[in-house]
Amino acid sequence: MRRPAYRAGGRGMIEYLHKLLAGQGLAPHGFCLLWDPALIWTHVITDALIAAAYFSIPVAMGYFLLKRPDVRFGWVAWLFAVFILACGATHVMGMWVLWYPDYGPQALVKIVTAVASVVTAIALWPLLPKAIALPSPLQLETANADLRLRVDERDAALVALGRETAERERTEDMLRQSQKMEAVGQLTGGIAHDFNNLMTIIVANLDRALRLPPGDPRTTTTLENALTGARRAATLTDQLLAFSRKQPLDPGVHDLNDLVARTADLFAATLDAGIAVQTELPPGVWPVRVDANQTENALLNLAVNARDAMPDGGTVTIRTLNIAAGTRDDAPPGDQVMIEVADTGTGMSPETIARAFEPFFTTKGVGQGTGLGLAQVYGFINQSGGRIAIHSVEGEGTTLRIFLPRALGPT
């Protein structure tokens, strides 16, 4: 009966290793050298130096690879370290067998060295094209020089951009200052013009009153005219204070529906037959904290503007509406109450809309308005914590929307 091949092979390998490690009857290598001291110690010293170098080189390589895990093909370097360690071990065994005939262990060490060297060689050759393709020091130096050049160019561009930005900011500051001075000039000119007209009325009537004889009945009329001019000057001052948001207010919590209803009734009584007033006042409108008198004046101002924009007649619609937080893109944050004053008049051009809230800007004829109406409304709404916006299309009418924060506190 034949034994299985793998059993026979295993038994043969064991017998081979037993015979290799037995080494009985062999003489040490020094015997072949006739124990000549010169030969013996030459072998010992050279093998010792070579072994020491072979053991130190892998240690240095391992330390380098551990500190630089980014090295390409590092695993090949580890193979080289194992191969060099095995080579060092063969030289140690070369010294050992000078006195002790352990040629079997020496052969095993050489087998390990052979395997390590063959594996390293097989792994090395396929990597040669990739290693050759790695950038050379000269290429890296050239690339670094190019990178430094690009960085310098970028830094120079940033410096130039910084100078241009600073110059642009200075130019914009000068433009803003010029615009401010122009606005101040327009404001000053408008105030001077209106006050000059009012003071002319007051002074002329007072001068006339002084010239009239005592007891003349015309004196009373003249003084009343002067008082009317003074009252108009006080009204103009109130409008300027409202525009500058420094008007003294007496805010309280009010129902906008009541304020709108009173304003609509007062406004309707002054209209021609060709203009209709409609109100849409749904119940449950949230209360707001405003100055009631100033709110009515602002609504009346908007209604009068709507009337003037409809010379051929039309409809003015005033409506209120609760706007919950986040439900409209044009509304400010938080819960708001919206008042909308819409007309079916001539509408506004984009240029007019852009300047509608400017003081003393008006599209009406001379003597028909001071140009402070919408500016007064704008200042009052902002002083009350609200926002006002205009939507208008020429030939289709104008809608002004006022957003006021919902009052949550006590009255």
HSE toward the beta carbon, residue 85, CA cutoff 13 A: 13
- Structurally, the chain folds into a number of domains equal to 2
Q: Domain span at residue 119? A: 5-134
| pLDDT tens, residue by residue, 318-351 | 999 999 998 988 888 999 999 999 999 989 989 8
Residue 394, in any domain of the structure: yes
Mean pLDDT of the chain: 80
Maximum mean pLDDT: which of 182-186, 193-197, 204-208: 204-208
Q: Which two tokens stand for residue 408?
A: 């949550």
The enclosing H or E element of 97 equals none
Residue 113, in any domain of the structure: yes
**Of the candidates 109, 134, 159, which is a domain's last residue?**
134
State what percent of residues in the chain have pLDDT above 70: 76
Task: Give just the sign of the alpha carbon dihedral 132, 136, 142, 143.
Answer: positive
**Of the candidates 102, 134, 166, which is a domain's last residue?**
134
At residue 227, the pLDDT reads 72
Global pTM exceeds 0.85: no
127 and 257, same domain (yes or no):
no
Residue 122, in any domain of the structure: yes
Residue 176, in any domain of the structure: no
| pLDDT tens, residue by residue, 71-101 | 777 788 888 888 888 898 999 988 998 888 8
**Nearest-CA neighbor of 116 among 86, 92, 73, 94?**
86
Residue 85, in any domain of the structure: yes
**Nearest-CA neighbor of 200 among 236, 237, 225?**
225
**Of the candidates 114, 134, 154, which is a domain's last residue?**
134
Residue 207, in any domain of the structure: no
Report the 10 Å Cβ neighbour count for 10: 11
Residue 112, in any domain of the structure: yes
CATH number of the domain that residue 285 is part of: 3.30.565.10
| pLDDT tens, residue by residue, 141-165 | 888 888 888 898 898 899 988 888 8
